[in-house]
Amino acid sequence: MDFELDEEHLTVREGIRKLAQSRLAQRADHYDQTGEYPWDDVKDLAENGYLGMTVPEEFGGLGADSLANAIVIEEVSRADAAVGTIVDVHNTLAVDPLVRFGSQRLKEKYLPGLASVEILGAYALTEPDAGSNAANQKTLAEKSGDEYILNGRKIFISNGGVADVYVVYAVTDKTKGSKGISAFIVEKDMAGVSFGPPEDKLGIRASHTTEVILDNVHVPAENLLGQEGEGYKIALATLDKGRVGIAAQAVGILQAALDKSVKYAKEREQFGQPLSYFQAIQFKIAEMAMDLDAARLLTYRAAWLVDRPGRWSKETSMAKLFASTAAMKHTVQAVQIHGGYGYVREYGVERLMRDAKITEIYEGTSEIQHIIISGFVLGEK
């Protein structure tokens, strides 16, 4: 057993940390305040090979493994969690189902563009009546000759309106429940695709989240991902990997909270001594560091496992649940350590607290993670 990262992963970490701290971190407050889409961050990440890195080499990507991807999402999120969302959605939720379930023709059609980031990806599962109960899809896909005609409405879609391709889930057979759901690659420019305005969000404000409206969209049958009826299986398999990304995002946010807390506790003096001399502050920092370590270990283990044969839903859920809970808890504590200065924008700590909250909600809420984990432990899965 080896707890050290190997040379390859250390190199990835060093490179992305340098880029994220020198560029992304400098622009994070601007994007948080304006809610503008961070195109220059996307460009920097694309040019340096981090966005699209999970695409296999034969299709123009780097063939990066899930651990490298997790390290990138962690370091990006440490600088700006909103950009971490963009990386996770593109590198995992859009690329992964194509790699694992796409036909050769579909891979050749979309993966090179996703590798070079000429096209940006998104994942459209959630609907007004299908949130935690994702099987309750209402979007319909009717077969008509060599096309499917899609009608429905997706909500809360990250990269909505900016992404060029969407992995869209829709019902092809109403009589079969979750086994009647299929997955499609839908292009932004197909007639009948439109988008709502970006949601005005609490956190990760630079990652645009919109409705995706499908009004008689004619999708070529070759854009079916996997077989008809495999959509729900594909959605869950994708989320299993995606959860590692959200765990990594939470780890990055938590690391940023610790960095800021340690710095501030040493600088700020009250009662004639630095805050770091007070035991109440020391204990907060100790717990933050301990939970960060545990969250990172669970996340890296999950990242390592998902590239190996087997079903790792319990482990990815544990990583996401633990890391997101810890990120939320300790970003609140980081604000507390900063006192009144933590409550104002200038120090960037309140942004971490706002950004952390989403990690407890998307790609399966904390309640859903409890259900998954207990199901495995109790032998009901």
In this chain, which stretch among 121-129, 143-151, 213-221, 343-351 interacts with ligand FAD, using CB under 6 A? 121-129
Q: Catalytic: which of 127, 228, 360, 363?
A: 363
In the bound complex, what is the minimum distance in angstroms from residue 160's beta carbon to ligand FAD?
8
- Is position 234 an interface residue for ligand FAD (rule: CB under 6 A)? no
In this chain, which stretch among 37-45, 73-81, 126-134, 264-272 interacts with ligand FAD, using CB under 6 A? 126-134
Contact of 114 with 98, CB cutoff 8 Å: yes
- Is position 362 an interface residue for ligand FAD (rule: CB under 6 A)? yes
When CB distances to ligand FAD are compared, the closest residue is 131
- Is position 131 an interface residue for ligand FAD (rule: CB under 6 A)? yes
- Is position 334 an interface residue for ligand FAD (rule: CB under 6 A)? no
- Is position 87 an interface residue for ligand FAD (rule: CB under 6 A)? no
What is the distance between the alpha carbons of residues 294 and 304, in angstroms, rounded to a whole number?
Answer: 15
211, two tokens: 């409705």
In this chain, which stretch among 14-22, 24-32, 244-252, 361-369 interacts with ligand FAD, using CB under 6 A? 361-369
Contacting ligand FAD within 173-212 (CB under 6 A):
201, 209
Q: What angle do CA 165, 174, 150 make, to 5 degrees?
A: 30
Measure CA 185 to chain center. 19
Among 34, 132, 216, 227, binds ligand FAD (CB under 6 A): 132
What is the distance between the alpha carbons of residues 162 and 378, in angstroms, rounded to a whole number?
Answer: 42
Is 363 annotated in the active site? yes
- Is position 232 an interface residue for ligand FAD (rule: CB under 6 A)? no
102, two tokens: 């796409």
- Is position 156 an interface residue for ligand FAD (rule: CB under 6 A)? yes
- How many of the chain's residues bind ligand FAD (CB under 6 A)? 19
Tell me which residues are annotated as active site: 363
Q: Summarize as ranges the residues that interact with ligand FAD (CB under 6 A).
A: 89, 123-126, 131-132, 156-158, 201, 209, 358, 361-363, 365, 367-368
